[in-house]
Structure 1
Amino acid sequence: MELSNNIQFSIILPVRNGGEYVKECAKSILSQTYGNFNFIVLDNCSTDGTAEWLESLNDPRIVIYRSDKSLSIEENWARTVGVPKNEFITLIGHDDVLESNYLEVMEKLIKKYPDASLFQTHFNLIDSQSKVIRPSRPMQAVEDAESFLTSIMTKRFDIVGTGFLMRSADYDKLGGIPDYPGLLFADYELWLNLTKIGYKVTAEEVCFSFRIHQSATTTSSDKKIQDAFERFVKYLQDVQASGPEYRNVILENGEAFLLSECKAMCHRLLRTPRQNGTTELSVKNTVDTFVGYAKRLIPGKPFDPMKESSIKLAALIDKSKLGRNLFLMFKKMYSKPVLK
């Protein structure tokens, strides 16, 4: 694929009330050693001065699109498709941080692999105080769609929303990030669809930090997570039908993938206080739902989550209000994982 000598980038930040984190994020963007980029901000009616602070920087690279009404997170991120963008784009969360050489490394990566459709670097996971928790797990330098699907289903590397870079034309052609509830699991679909256009490449350098903190893991409701995963299962069914190589990956890895997600959702349910006697989101119902997923994705293969001791224990605890309350009380006093 022919490339211009002077590659132009757009770094896109959808944000609502970014607080102090957005200042660190923005400063990391504006300190890039590669200068040919603009910084597009999709401000979603921030009330904490986020847009005003960005405007006060008086930096011509910053382009702010304010929403005239309050939007959902899905609606605000969807605006990415409609705004003018440079040839290559990357999207960033307001609490994540780029290293100053991120675009410089990406420019070299694009020129080395001009036919790739998805680009990434290695990264660090950081906490709310910007301290490094750990580096990302190693990734292959080159992955096709089949390999990337295997990575998703086996969780052999860390997949986060920040740090991926793609062509604006590809992003727009796909319709942008899919409209999943809360955008949960939407990244998986988008990245896989992009790798099906070409392939994914990853630089060995560590060029950004992805923040892990309480608000990133607990604000989404259990129902929203389950609804989003339901959509992802439907997407995987479509992927299966698109080629035998994808069907084989899902058949080979589907049991372990579904068991892992079922376990995570069951344990999350125990950590969430039951509201108004709601019984729809119970461990038992979740297990039954995943058994249904297995029939759709890996038909004919045995799938019994209750054979997993921690899921079985979660189901026993979840049977009674007393059991759930005791579990929550114990979790408050004991910070280490209770169910493994």
Structure 2
Amino acid sequence: MKKFSIILPVRNGGEYVKECVKSILSQTINEFDLLILDNNSTDGTSEWLNTLKNDCIKIYHANESLSIEDNWKRVVNIPKNKFITLIGHDDLLDENYLKEMDSLINSYPDATLYQSHFRFINAAGAEVKKCRGMKAKYNSAEYLDAILTHSLDTMGTGYMMRSTDYDKLGGIPSYPNLLFADHELWISLTGLNYMAVSEKECFSYRLNQSVSKRSGASKYIDAFFRFLDFLSTLENKDERLREIIKKHSPDYIQFYCTSLTHRLLKTPVNQREGKAVASFILNCKQKADTLSPENHFQPLDQFSVRLSKLIDNNPILQRFYLLFKKVYKKSFYS
């Protein structure tokens, strides 16, 4: 049995998925299978995948179009090797990725999550910037602290874990559009023991039209609140985590309250699934009070949040704002 499974969920991967597969097949060690979960692609991806002739490749075509959550949920139900990693279809592995992960596992055999440093690339594949520096090891408290203080670049690609741990946790949780889902998964896996990190750069993460950028305000808000509910469960399990959540959750909620208030304001009312700026702000305050009693979180202290609430509460101002954004966007891109 091989040691690694590289798992690639994809729908309409275009040219990017070809680059991704090429990077995977260029690994300097061959102890791996490539498991591709094709989500009923309609752009020729399915047909191209069927032309691949390599014994390490196993393709699982969906019988119908699935949501991104349901396609990734299939990972739990397919045969996997001892260690697995997930990769976005537009990301790229360096040829030494598996070799470095193998070395990391041998150096830290009791770790439950592994990662390396990486670089961000643009749509054309040119390097944009390096990821932030990481420590050699993170326990669950340190990792959670890094997430809540935005001091760690954490993506879906690059992480290595045992397939038994992944399956035991139920796989990646089905958050709307998988937003914040990787946060919960990596926190949970780190909580089983700790995460070990290689100082080497071993993959490229593409800054493209990501799911987070394409997702509507309503799904983003639903996913955000689900993650905050997950933090509540952590508070009940571990005193160390409770103190970190109590300390950092107000500023974390403030960050997303501000950005999602603006996203919601830019969304036409008929696409909001009943959400309004005022109620969203109130819900953020309630979540903050639950996670961190006696906190300093006052969302309306931010001028942009107050202004968004004022505009959203007035149908005339709201329509004028949307019209202004539409005209401004057209003139900007013309």
Same fold (TM > 0.5)? yes
1:283 paired with 2:277, answer yes
- What are the Cα deviations for residues 143-166 of structure 1, in whole angstroms up to 9, with x where unaligned? 000000101100101111111110
AA matched with 1:139: M
Structure 1 runs (4+) greater than 4 angstroms displaced: 331-335
Give the whole-Å Cα distance in 2 for the aligned partners of 1:224 and 1:10. Answer: 31
In the other structure, the counterpart of 1:99 is 94
Q: Which residue of 2 is the match for residue 201 of structure 1?
A: 196
1:245 aligns with 2:240: yes
Task: Find out whether 1:129 has 2:124 as its counterpart.
Answer: yes
Residue identity opposite 2:296 in structure 1? P
Say which of 126, 133, 150 aligns to 1:155: 150
TM-score by length of 2: 0.93
CA distances 1:160-207 after superposition (whole Å, capped 9, x unpaired): 111111000100111101111111111011001101111011111111
Distance 1:112 1:69, change over 3 A: same
Q: Does 1:314 align with 2:308?
A: yes
Aligned ranges for residues 72-83 of structure 1 at < 5 Å? 72-83=67-78
Q: Deviations over 1:67-106 (max 9, x none)?
A: 2222111111111111111110001111111111110111
Task: Determine the C-alpha separation between the residues in 2 that align with 1:123 and 1:271.
Answer: 33
1:40-55 aligned at under 5 Å gives the runs: 40-55=35-50
For structure 2, the residue ranges without an aligned partner over 5 or more in a row are none
SS of alignment partner, residue 176 of structure 1: coil
User: 2:324 maps to which residue?
Assistant: 326
Q: Is the contact between residue 218 and residue 264 of structure 2 (CA under 8 Å) also seen in structure 1?
A: no
Q: How far is 1:135 from its partner? A: 1.0
Q: Which residue of 2 aligns with 1:295?
A: 289
Q: Cα distance 1:255–1:215, how it changes in 2: closer, same or farther (>3 A)?
A: closer
Shift of 1:283: 2.6
1:238/1:32 CA distance change after superposition, 3 Å: same
**Contact conserved, 1:51 with 1:64, CA < 8 A, in 2?**
no
Which range moves more in the overlay, 197-206 or 125-134? Answer: 125-134
What residue number does 1:187 align with? 182
CA distance in 2, matches of 1:220, 1:212: 15
**After the TM superposition, which residues 244-283 of structure 1 pair with which residues of structure 2 at under 5 Å, given as runs?**
244-272=239-267, 274-276=268-270, 280-283=274-277
Asked whether 1:17 is paired with 2:15, we answer no
The question of whether the paired residues in 2 share the 8 Å contact of 1:270 and 1:327 is answered with no
CA drift of 1:224 comes to: 0.8
> 2:177 touches 2:211 (CA, 8 Å); kept in 1?
no
Letter in 2 for 1:104: K
What is the aligned partner in structure 2 of residue 3 from structure 1? none
Q: How far off its partner does 1:217 sit?
A: 3.7
Residues of 1 paired with 2:332 and 2:45: CA distance?
A: 37
Q: Report the 3-state secondary structure (helix = DSSP H, G, I; strand = E; otherwise coil) of the residue aligned with 1:214.
A: coil
CA distance in 2, matches of 1:245, 1:258: 20
Q: Indicate if the aligned counterparts of 1:74 and 1:182 stay in contact, CA closer than 8 A.
A: yes
Q: Distance in 1 between matches of 2:326 and 2:234?
A: 39
Q: How many residues align?
A: 329
Provide structure 1 residue ranges, at least 5 long, that are not aligned to the other structure.
Answer: 1-5, 336-340
Change (3 A) 1:136 1:18: same
Identity rate, percent: 45
Distance in 2 (CA, whole Å) between partners of 1:310 and 1:202 is 38
